[in-house]
Amino acid sequence: MNRDKRIGLLGGLVAAAIGPWAIAAWLLWRAWWRQAGVRLAALDGSARLLAAATATLPADRRDWGAAMAAELAQVPVQERAARWRFAAGCAWAAIFPPGGTRAAVGVAGVLAVTATAAAAGATGAALPAGRVFVPVFVGLLGGLATLAVARSRRAGHAGPGPAVAGLGLAGVAACVAFLGYYLAEFPTYHRARLHAWTLVSLPPVTAVVLAVVLAGCLWLALRPPRWLLGDRHARRFGIGMAVALVAGFVLTSRGELRGLPGDGGMMDYSLTGLVLWVTGSAVAAAVGRSFRSGLWACAWAAVLVAPLLVAAWLAEALHWYQQGRGMLLDGEGGIGMGANLGDAVWWTLPFLLVWALPLGVLGAAVGSARARRRRAREHGDLASTT
Amino acid sequence: MVSFTRLSAQATTAVILALAEQPATWRYGHELRQQLDLKPGRLYRALMRLADLGLLEAAWESDAPADRPLRHRYRLSGPGRAHAAKLAAGPSVPAKTARVVGEIGRLPRLEGR
């Protein structure tokens, strides 16, 4: 390949990765501006800081956010330093409202640290290949649990419902179970065609990325922020999209194993997955008659599909291995089974981040535009009949 | 029964005692903050905690001038007043809190702070 072709290819790849995000960012900015931007533009910096912080308050404390904003209006606009001090103090109270008692927070913190240390010790002895993933994952969960105790004042926090919580929990549990199996059975692998040396199946960077993603998804599935809970239809669409995406992945893998005619293997799945993603977001936006419904459906699908897809990848890779086939990604042989761990993480997560999320935003924009046009037509018809 | 350990925070005690000075009067957050010289974060955490415990009544103004938003106002509830009386009578009011707020009924309310 000559230099010009190489530059062209590189440029195409960069454009393909950045393009959808640039369009999605513009759509998000436009939607935000319509919703809140005009209002926020009239506020000074301190009021914007307070507005951003109070948006994180749980539903039953929303009045307190409005109360703080009203009191900030009592501090004269000329006293900029005083306004910033007031806003910063209130922002702190909004982000860390009184929750569990200090004793409960302390106990949760001590338990988190103890569990992390115990996990690090036990993993080092029993499963050396997991010595990065396990303590990072346990530590993150412990930290998030401590934060939850610090922020909550009641046990009865509004949740996303049993379907989301169950799927999230099942996805993360399956991921951890497969990961444990892989790390015990295939802690290292060889890439015979390229070189002779041994490679680690789960390098530290991959382990940390996977731990952060799994802990984050589990957290969002069990204790999502208030703004994500508002739209029940979007949540249902998100669940449907996640189930369809994972089912599509497994069916594609099984079809490839059976050598169905016209099947292009797991690479084809990327296209199918993206079509499903865009369509799901668009339909959610059209049904919910808002851009936000499409976005929330896309967000819920991402939260659920990330762990489920990694788990499905690891399960299908085992299936391929048992049938004497090569790597799940492209069927390449001569590579140790452990390489599937890195593939599962580095193909699934970029697929979600680089392509699926921005294309979901595009789908939501298309779906909500159709809904807006339909509403406008209905208004027009109504006006002409009256 | 209100757990004293949950109310032992200095800011919370100071807020209770300040509200108890004029138990029937609605007070505002900014005014309380100035009176007690508390940081706004501590004041609002204390107010939220008191409301959670049922010691505080919080209500929005019924009307306000057009140039400002409606304000939230606060006063002690029945149990709040009882608790304030207990706090004032007992030896457990922290010295610094007593200095800031003044003992109920004896020292005048701090003005213009």
Residue B93, pLDDT above cutoff 70: no
Residue A181, pLDDT above cutoff 50: yes
| pLDDT tens sequence across A63-105 | 899 999 999 988 888 888 999 999 999 999 888 887 666 778 8
Q: What is the pLDDT of residue B1?
A: 39
Distance from CA of A232 to the nearest CA of B (A): 28
Q: What is the pLDDT of residue B99?
A: 47
Query: Measured between CB atoms, which of B44, B69, B70 is closest to A90?
Result: B44
Q: What is the pLDDT of residue A148?
A: 80
Residue A231, pLDDT above cutoff 90: no
Whether chain A has a CB inside 8 Å of the CB on B82: the answer is no
| pLDDT tens sequence across A250-293 | 988 888 887 765 555 566 777 788 888 889 999 999 888 888 88
Query: Measured between CB atoms, which of B6, B28, B72 is closest to A63?
Result: B72
Average model confidence (pLDDT) across chain A: 84
Residue B109, pLDDT above cutoff 80: no
Whether chain B has a CB inside 8 Å of the CB on A90: the answer is yes
| pLDDT tens sequence across A324-371 | 777 777 766 667 788 888 888 888 887 777 778 888 888 888 888 877
Cβ-proximal residues to B3 (8 Å cutoff; 6+ apart), any chain: none
What band does A178 get if pLDDT is binned at 50, 70 and 90?
very high
| pLDDT tens sequence across B42-62 | 999 999 989 988 999 999 988
Q: What is the pLDDT of residue B112?
A: 35
Specify the 3-state DSSP secondary structure of B44.
helix
ipTM over 0.90: no
CB contact under 8 A, B69 and A66: yes
Give the rounded percent of residues in chain B with a pLDDT score beyond 70.
71
